[in-house]
Structure formats: structure tokens, C-alpha cells
Amino acid sequence: ITLMIETGVNTLLTSAYLTRRFIEDMQSPNFKVLWDPANMIFNHEVPYPDSYEELKGHIAHIHIKDGTVDTKRSIITSMSVGEGTMAQYLPDIAQALRQDGYDGVVSLENFYIPPGKTLQDGYREAVRGFKRYFS
């Protein structure tokens, strides 16, 4: 069994540094990170290379989503993968994972609903963006 803690916006582990320290302090080979690079942006961290390099070797699962954030107004706007703030980091993240031989899970975490459409429509759009980088 592998237990994971997600890098999140509403947790006590709001930075890659704190998450890595927590994982190391647990001293268990079965305790890993569920890395959500978009959440790192929401916490004002650079997902790649900063956050990735801090957590590399402890990651067992990765959530991919995209959007924009206005932290002053506490507004997160979901977008299709490759259309938001994550777009500038996705090619480098995908390349680093391949280069480093990452063998964990990379999953699409879709929240995107296009205006006037459905969550399923947003999923189809997000899958196209996801495949651009991770297929």
C-alpha cells in the first residue's frame, strides 16, 4: 500500500519544501507525494523546475489540470489543459518525467466546463490538451 499526501491549496503543506520535509520526516518508503503542479501555482510556487526538483523521487501520482488564479479575489478559473497558466510548464514537466524515468501515474484532473457546455465537453477538450503533452 502506498499512502500519499497531495500538494494542495487548502492544506498545511502549502509548499514543495514543506511537503518534502513531511515525507522525509515520516520515514516510510510507502508514503509518497501526489503532486499537483497547478496547486503549486495557486500557492505562488513555480511548478517546474522549482517544485518538481524539490519533490522529485517522492512523487507517486501527478494530477494535471489547468486554469488561472486570482488569489486576491480567491478566484480559480478552470481551463482546458494547455490553455491556462500551466501551459508554459507542461512541456518541461512532461520531458523531465520521461528523462527521469518516472513510472508513477499521471492523471487528468478535469474541472473545466466550457461556457454553455457540459463537464463532459470540458473533459473532451482537456483530454486533447493532456494528450499533447503526456501521450
Q: Return d(Cα 96, Cα 23) in angstroms, integer.
A: 21
pTM of the model: 0.94
Q: Which long-range contacts (CB under 8 A, 24 or more apart) does 122-127 make?
A: 122/78, 122/80, 125/80, 126/65, 126/66, 126/80, 126/81, 127/81
Q: Which pairing describes strands 75-79 and 66-70: parallel, antiparallel, or unpaired?
A: antiparallel
Q: Return d(Cα 69, Cα 18) in angstroms, integer.
A: 22
Per-residue pLDDT of the chain (135 residues; tens, 9 = 90+): 999 999 987 778 889 999 999 999 999 999 999 999 999 998 889 999 999 999 999 999 999 999 999 988 989 999 999 999 999 999 999 999 999 999 999 999 999 999 999 999 999 999 999 999 999
